[in-house]
Structure 1
């Protein structure tokens, strides 16, 4: 076991563990730490606690110090410089006629590096752009291509539900979402219905997936052969949340469908949820690559 604190460097970013070196920290405090990118100022989001050694990335780096007023002033100054750097980089992109969209700019705390985040449909040869930027800012320049989900996380906005994007309001890390999840939840495989503003499958499909998986274990699927109080039949529709089933009776295949609750039927041969190859191909662009 090792004592750690959790530090976050962006409002809704990943949490990293650091060694508190015997000091006690509280949530909300700002600390100065050394990272792979250099010295950074982060916010404590997890106070002192012990975690298993297996869950740590060795070596665990120590906290350098609690952030001072001077440190916080540097952070604010960097934010102002980031705005200017964004405008300059945008001009340089237009000058070099590069097909790329600048999303965000970030200064490291110690000003040893400036990171420019951008999106593009393919690979971009930005070597001349980097040289141009380095001659202006006289420091290390890094251009980092990001995906559309990361872009939405950085820029923020409102989802189809009317609430702020989950990714920009509280999701620290993206979770994998698949077409299979939408199929299992009985959703229409209409891109406009199951994709978010970023153009990828909505993150919220992941939230209830475990509940749907549990319901699928106790609910006959479409195509299942079941034994009902009225005889044998085939399930033509199933509502996982209510448990109501529509069954076509074997004794009257052309008659009206019968409705039963899953609790009063027994499965003789269960159905399967399949995602056709044509559906996967048509919706492949919605899954995060």
Structure 2
């Protein structure tokens, strides 16, 4: 086991582990640490704790010191300089007529580098822009292209639920979100209902995914042929929370080029009363696959 502290450099940013060395740090303190980018200023969000060595990336960088008054002032000055750098970069982007959108600017704590975050639909030739910025700021310049989810995280906003975006307030890391998660929660596959302001699938689809997976164990899928107490039927919808399925009875099986004939009546059965056959209604399956193609661009 090894003693570590968790440090965050941005609000809702990723938490990184550091070696506190002999420094007595506590949660909530600001500290100065050594990173791969150089010296950085951050906040302790996870107090000292022991974790297994295999759970960290060795060797751990060290906490250099608890932030002093001078460090706090330096960080405040950096934040002010970032605002000025943002305005300057906007002017230069307009001057060079570049098709890019500036999102954020970040000074490293020691001022050895200024990082400009931007979005663009394709590749951007910003070599002349970098030269101009380097001449103005007299330091290393990095232009970093980010995706739409990172843009939403940096800018912030209000989600469809009416609350501040999870990614901008507390969600440290983005996790993969798929259309399958929306299906398993029986949500409408309307893009406007399941996408966030970033235009991608909402991160919150992931939160209850494991619970829905457990509830859906043994539950037949839509389009699946099952045996009910009233005979063979085709599942048209299922409900994981109620652990039941809606079905239409099979009146006539498909044969001699004729399609399967189903009843108009819909019945509901608990999953314990249904026997699965493993067979599937091909037409319903094709309709689902076609629907996936219409909203596949919502996935990362």
CA distance in 2, matches of 1:255, 1:132: 71
TM alignment of 1:1-289, pairs within 5 A: 1-250=1-250, 253-269=262-278, 271=280, 278-288=290-300
1:220–1:271 Cα contact (<8 Å) kept: no
2:118–2:146 Cα contact (<8 Å) kept: yes
Q: Quote how far apart the aligned CAs of 1:277 are.
A: 5.2
SS in structure 2 opposite 1:82?
A: helix
2:26–2:44 Cα contact (<8 Å) kept: yes
Greater alpha carbon shift after TM alignment, 77-86 vs 188-197: 188-197
Q: Quote how far apart the aligned CAs of 1:189 are.
A: 2.3
Q: Quote how far apart the aligned CAs of 1:251 are.
A: 5.9
The TM-score with structure 2 as length reference comes to 0.90
Q: Over residues 114-165 of structure 1, what are the superposed CA-to-partner deviations in whole Å (9 max), with x where a residue is unaligned?
A: 1110000011111100110111111111111100100000000000110111
Unaligned runs of 5+ in 2: 253-261
CA distance in 2, matches of 1:77, 1:274: 59
The TM-score with structure 1 as length reference comes to 0.93
CA distance in 1, matches of 2:196, 2:223: 31
CA distance in 2, matches of 1:283, 1:211: 24
CA distance in 1, matches of 2:15, 2:152: 19
CA distance in 1, matches of 2:167, 2:248: 43
2:108–2:114 Cα contact (<8 Å) kept: yes
1:8–1:14 Cα contact (<8 Å) kept: yes
Aligned to 2:256: none
2:23–2:65 Cα contact (<8 Å) kept: no
CA distance in 2, matches of 1:171, 1:146: 17
Greater alpha carbon shift after TM alignment, 160-169 vs 210-219: 210-219
2:223–2:285 Cα contact (<8 Å) kept: no
Change (3 A) 1:255 1:75: closer
Unaligned runs of 5+ in 1: none
CA distance in 2, matches of 1:50, 1:270: 51
Q: Quote how far apart the aligned CAs of 1:271 are.
A: 5.0
CA distance in 2, matches of 1:274, 1:45: 48
Count how many residue pairs are aligned between Structure 1 and Structure 2: 288
Greater alpha carbon shift after TM alignment, 50-59 vs 82-91: 50-59
Q: Quote how far apart the aligned CAs of 1:257 are.
A: 2.0
CA distance in 2, matches of 1:271, 1:241: 23
CA distance in 2, matches of 1:98, 1:222: 49
Q: Quote how far apart the aligned CAs of 1:225 are.
A: 3.1
2:157–2:165 Cα contact (<8 Å) kept: yes
Q: Tell me how large the CA RMSD over aligned residues is.
A: 2.0
1:32–1:40 Cα contact (<8 Å) kept: yes
